[in-house]
Structure 1
């Protein structure tokens, strides 16, 4: 006899319901408002940047000025006050050309007309001590410039320049520039070749450009010193 299979429906009363997952409500992001700066702040920043740039330019110019290898450092060390001009006439060079305060500039040189007198050797030593030399005249234009300058001091008649005679009649410049008699500016009758007249002065009262006179180097005269202008 086949056994009968009985099916029964069973229900569990304590069955837990499916868990309900609660999603937290979306949080609202706070709105970002641009921060407001004072209207003068950009101007202040611009001014500070401008001052910084200006300071850098000054530092660079000073550094170049004092460390320029092609300039007489002795002259730079002697003087703390300088007068500078922007560029040179008829020149495309940029920058500044400077001479010590109280000196006169012509082209690329600075000139000092002394207010006191010394003999020729002392005059040359004094110029050298300032990082310069007794003036060496290389052109008619330079001679014209100096002739005009000395006439501003009519009470100073004689100025030593850097031309001297090592031997009688053998003239030479202090910087070893070759002496060219055709480019000299001797006064009529000069050099006279007198005893001991082995130095040269510019005679201020002379009305022409030919105002050089030979002189005894032991006499005390005014002097003209020359140095290369400093460019920055």
Structure 2
């Protein structure tokens, strides 16, 4: 109620203009908060995609790399829309591959892959075999050629994969005359210049390039 001098009596409602101003301030605050949240979400998506889902335990691969490359290749019907590999790695289907430019022995290569949260590649299909062979052949890096895979023999002729995947001779990619016998050749490379897809060669476990593999991160 207004008194005779135009002041508001205690307990009376504030003028309409003042209430409108208060609501305007609230809306401005909410819009700003939403804009900031959206900006943070976008930053999370593009800079550190694999770590945005805090409910997931980071994989060994995630713990080793901070730069990632992602694309929207996750199958429809899943609740995630991106598949990611460390920057510089190659993706094929659900795996990420690192093709080295330096050379190491087989044991050193296996340890190097493990140290990056991956393993020497285990090839389980013709499509994967052809993809990796083409990646080696098409590489612009002249030093990248014959590369170790994760197949080895502790004793001659007893081939096994590093992750204990059963070795199947009928699903292997040996050319005629391979694997060699009697030459202490207990490690396997993809040989760059052999006709596809049968381009595995057994070799002595000396220094070669390597291919590491890890599961792609989906977010």
TM range (shorter): 0.7 to 0.9
Cα 1:32–1:157 change in 2 (3 A) is: closer
Aligned-partner SS, 1:167 = coil
How far residue 63 of structure 1 moved from its aligned partner, in angstroms, is 4.8
Is the alpha carbon distance of 1:109 and 1:173 closer, same or farther for their aligned partners in structure 2, counting shifts above 3 Å? Answer: same
- Is the alpha carbon distance of 1:196 and 1:103 closer, same or farther for their aligned partners in structure 2, counting shifts above 3 Å? same
2:11 aligns to what?
none
The one of 45, 53, 61 equivalent to 1:64 is 53
**In structure 1, distance between residues paired with 2:217 and 2:119:** 15
Query: In terms of mean alpha carbon deviation, does 100-109 or 187-196 score higher?
Result: 187-196
The residue that corresponds to 1:83 in the other structure is 69
Aligned to 2:162: 174
Q: Deviations over 1:141-185 (max 9, x none)?
A: 111110111112354331000000121111100000000011101
Distance 2:38 2:50 in 1: 12
Q: Which has the higher helix share?
A: 2
Which of residues 198, 203, 206 in structure 1 aligns to 2:191? 203
Cα deviations by residue, 1:74-102 (Å, 9 ceiling, x for unpaired): x22211111112242x5432232111111
Superimposed CA distance per residue, residues 111-138 of structure 1 (whole angstroms, 9 cap, x where no aligned partner): 0000100011110011111111100001
Q: 1:149 to 1:62 in 2, by over 3 A?
A: same
The residue aligned with 1:100 is: 86
- Coordinate RMSD, CA, aligned: 2.9
Match of 2:37 among 52, 55, 59: 52
Match of residue 99, structure 2, among 106, 113, 138 = 113
TM-score, reference length from structure 2: 0.80
Unaligned runs of 5+ in 1: 1-25
- Give 1:222's match in structure 2, choosing from 209, 213, 219: 209
Is the contact made by 1:163 and 1:200 (CA closer than 8 Å) also made in structure 2?
yes
What corresponds to 1:18 in structure 2? none
Residue 52 of structure 1: how far off its partner (Å) = 2.2
| Structure 2 equivalent of residue 32 of structure 1 | 15
Tell me, in whole angstroms, the C-alpha distance in 1 between the residues paired with 2:36 and 2:176: 61
How many residue pairs align between the two structures? 201
Contact conserved, 2:130 with 2:196, CA < 8 A, in 1? no
For the residue of structure 1 that corresponds to 2:35, the secondary structure is helix
- In the alignment, which of 176, 180, 190 is matched to residue 178 of structure 2? 190
